[in-house]
Amino acid sequence: MKNKTGYYVKSILISFIFLVAFCVTYISHVYAIEVIGANTGLKVNVSDVLVSTDNLAPGDTKASTMTIYIDPESNTSSLRVWIRSEIIESVLGKEVNGIRGNLDDRLVLTVTHQDGKELHSGSISKFDKNVLVGDIQK
């Protein structure tokens, strides 16, 4: 009986270790939007569905919408708004002919204002400087 109990304890312990190792090593993509000035009433909404870039092929396009507005409960009536992107981590692509690709310089990002004015069109790595969106009114 003691031998069977030891076997079960070892099995449970090994299963637990595998489960913890899986949870610790699991890699997930994090999409984050940081709003600097949220204390002024600035709010941001993005599309409910995040744009997946896991399986893009040359020529593929993806679209999403971001809405920037002032909280109706805020005392602020207008704000000047800038936008930029920041790459937190680069994940190199698959190796082809001994070279691993970096998509930061290949992915083209186009940011268009609701009035149709193009704020940025170029590689996502070049969208690292503040771009004026404009003055947002309540």
CB 110 within 8 A of CB 120: yes
Q: Which domain holds residue 120?
A: 36-137
pTM, full prediction: 0.62
74 found inside a domain: yes
Residue 98 within any structural domain of the chain: yes
**Domain assignment of residue 30, yes or no:** no
- Cα separation, 123 vs 23, in Å, equals 33
- pLDDT digits 0-9 by tens, 96-137: 787 777 778 778 889 998 888 999 999 888 989 999 999 988
Average pLDDT for 68-83: 89
Domain-located, residue 100: yes
In a domain, residue 31? The reply is no
Q: Is residue 80 part of a domain?
A: yes
Residue type (1 letter), 11: S
Question: What's the domain count of the chain?
Answer: 1
The alpha-carbon radius of gyration of the chain (Å, integer) is 23
In a domain, 132, yes or no: yes
Cβ proximity of 96 and 116 under 8 Å = no
How high does pLDDT run on average in the chain?
A: 75
Residue 86, domain member (yes or no) = yes
Of residues 120 and 29, more confidence is placed in 120
